[in-house]
Structure 1
Amino acid sequence: MSGGGRKTACVTGGNGYIASALIKMLLNKGYTVKTTVRDPDDMEKNSHFKDLHALGPLEIFRADLGSDGSFDEAVAGCDYAFLVAAPMDLNAENPEKDVVEAAVRGTLNVMKSCVRAGSVKRVILTSSIAAVSLRPLQGEGHVLDEESWSDVEFLRAYAKQTRGWAYPVSKVLLEKEASKFALDNGISLVTVCPVTTLGKAPATKAHASIPMIVSLLSGDEALIQTLQHSEKANGSTPMVHIDDLCRAEIFVAEEESASGRYICCSLNTTVLQLAGFLAANYPQYNVKIDRVGDIGGDQKPPRVCVSSAKLIREGFEYKYKTLEEVYGDVVDYARAMGILQA
């Protein structure tokens, strides 16, 4: 504890989409927050910190995932460390080195700093549904939970044909290495695997999921194809609102009995269902439902269901459960970000 009973949390990658929203929620809950960025002087990426500073005590530190010891100052005196920052270069020249190895090394670098700090009660690692759902699945009616893992060998076998294969591989391997490190060093570690995350965040740049999830409105053909490819690879288009994700991260941090992995997903849907919803609710964008499937086929359930039953069973409750609620403010946010025309 620090600052008259306030809990202190470190959030890595504070200019990121999820991290910025998490910082805002922690400050609103009365936490003292320390966050890290690679370049604190980059005002284009860091301008949102001005508004966040007004909410409560926030310190910003320079740190680099590739540099051992650079997180020591940021995690010193912290009760919780939220590991959100991660390399995500889909066009890396050497994906094995620049994405996979960098992600594992960066995660362990922060965890080593947590060991040295001696004050960190729990590390909360943000992974991804990409570490859960990418595997060969035949037929329909599959339910994936925390025991499910993406198939690393399967992903590597198709590396030449599949753009971005290193990202899910990095998530699987960093989860497993982090778990081993935590066990060897007596650290309490919980991992959160969020699905496609929607909603407004303080960060000045929207996460890649936002332009993709509004692509049916923007008419961006390349992103519509990415959305369809994602559903084909995952078997569904699972979603969660960013507020629910941040609430879940704080829940598993504070809940003493929490352990292991937690999938964070409030809704399993399909691109066709999404298209039908958007066409009905945003007629001004002229969504072409037949572009993504047969009209009337939107009643068909997803081939794969991503289960968040563990999180719910342990006492967490989602606030945004329907497509209307989850999609909520994403259109206004995308307009504000310049992704969508008003």
Structure 2
Amino acid sequence: MNGGGKVVCVTGASGYIASWIVKLLLLRGYTVRATVRDPKDQKKTDHLLALDSAKERLKLFKANLLEEGSFDHAIDGCDIVVHTASPVTLTVADPQADMIDPAVKGTLNVLKTCIKVSSVKRVIVTSSMAAVLARGSRFGPNDLVDETTFSDPSFCEKQKKWYALSKTLAEDAAWKFAKANGLDLIVMNPGLVVGPILQPSLNFSVEVVVDLIKGKDPFNSKHYRFVDVRDVALAHVKALETPSANGRYIIDGPLVTLSDIEKVLREFYPDLSIADDKNNEDIGIDLVTYKVCVEKVKSLGIEFTPTETSLRDTVLCLKEKCLV
């Protein structure tokens, strides 16, 4: 038990990655204070309350990203804060109000509370590869993407990539705030996350797998990179347990082709063929053939789950929950 006596606040705890972080923290003996928008919403909280040791060491708190001081109560007395709460969607009516404000103001809200609470020693913010990869010049097959690679906000805005913009601006604001206030901040940048879900409903990244099962190619791409939710959650936990952990951590999987994915899914759906939309050629959509350096996150002791295993476990879980 690593967590003996330590208290961790996890924001947005009912989310996909956050639920797994809560599960791992409880397994490792931590006490967890989990924030959700509405603790009475059983669809969002039942799966958390059902986790091992939740009765003894999990407490739910109501908090809203846009309300200043909303996280004070949950963070008070915590040793570490893991901030995962942020909107994840690709379709928005009002990008500023629906995506950017909750991401940026929400992050600053949480960090402001963290510097007021003297017990908080470290803060871990969940960002995304969207804050790494979105930029005007394309990555070629010889380009190496690592922790020094950042998305370009003006490119995101021009291209109306609102999710990438929200993540990029929120991460940027977090680094500036941490520097100005001497906060021990770590940022996690996961790619497209798949693997079993703990929550009862689909989330954006697992829905990509559902699309693939239905024979659709959601990103019109011949290549994908997936990273397992269990690896991502463990990376967060290792980052809070490793005193020397610092800066950003890229967490992304190896390149897999559409036919690799098809092979795995055909074990479950023998007739599956994923639509290969030939119109993609001219828009150079295969942007994922660059190299990704994941040595830094491996140095925390993370061994990556093979993509086939992640996809298989995702399908098994979706079937079990009757979501496919």
- TM-score of the alignment, normalized to the shorter chain, above 0.5: yes
Taking a change above 3 Å as real, the CA distance of residues 133 and 270 of structure 1, as seen in their structure-2 partners, is farther
Paired residue for 2:292, among 306, 316, 333? 306
1:335 maps onto 2:319 in alignment: yes
Q: Which residue of 1 aligns with 2:84?
A: 84
Q: CA deviation at 1:292?
A: 5.7
Return the letter of the residue paired with 2:155: F
User: What corresponds to 2:282 in structure 1?
Assistant: none
Structure 1 length as normaliser, TM-score? 0.85
> 2:239–2:245: 8 Å Cα contact kept in structure 1?
yes
Between 197-206 and 170-179, the greater mean CA deviation after superposition: 197-206
1:127 CA drift (Å): 0.5
Match of 1:249 in 2: 236
Cα shift at 1:89? 4.6
The corresponding residue for 1:186 is 182
Please give the TM-score of this superposition, normalised by the length of structure 2: 0.89
- The letter for the 2-side match of 1:189 is L
Between the aligned partners of 1:307 and 1:327, the Cα distance in structure 2 is 22
Cα 1:102–1:24, aligned 2, differ >3 Å: closer, same or farther?
Answer: same
Q: SS of the residue aligned with 1:327?
A: helix
SS at match of 1:109: helix
Report what 1:60 is aligned to.
Answer: 60
User: Which residue of structure 2 aligns with residue 147 of structure 1?
Assistant: 148
Q: Which deviates more from structure 2 when the two are superposed, residues 97-106 or residues 118-127?
A: 97-106
CA distance in 2, matches of 1:214, 1:89: 16
CA apart distance, 1:289: 4.9
Instruction: State whether residues 197 and 314 of structure 2, in contact with CA within 8 Å, keep that contact through their aligned partners in structure 1.
Output: no
Question: Aligned partner of 2:196: which letter?
Answer: K
How many percent identity over aligned positions? Answer: 35
Counterpart position of 1:176: 172
Return the offset for 1:30.
0.3
Q: Is the aligned partner of 1:211 residue 2:207?
A: yes
Query: Which runs of 5 or more residues in structure 1 are unaligned?
Result: 160-164, 294-299
- For residues 216-274 of structure 1, give each alpha carbon's deviation from its aligned partner in whole angstroms, at most 9, with x where no partner exists: 2233x4xx2x232xx48xxx522111111111001111111111110012432233432
Taking a change above 3 Å as real, the CA distance of residues 131 and 10 of structure 1, as seen in their structure-2 partners, is same
Q: Give secondary structure in 2 for the equivalent of 1:36.
A: strand
Report the AA paired with residue 200 of structure 1.
P
Residue 296 (structure 1) aligns with: none
Q: Deviations over 1:285-321 (max 9, x none)?
A: x12156367xxxxxx9952232212222x3423151x
Which letter does structure 1 place at the counterpart of 2:114?
A: C
| Secondary structure of 1:206's aligned partner | coil
The answer for unaligned runs of 5 or more in structure 2 is 279-285
Across the aligned residues of Structure 1 and Structure 2, the Cα RMSD in angstroms comes to 2.2
Q: Give the match's secondary structure for 1:10.
A: strand
Take 2:62 and 2:262, find their aligned partners in 1: how far apart are those partners? Answer: 42
- What is the CA–CA distance in structure 2 between the aligned matches of 1:85 and 1:30, rounded to whole Å? 23
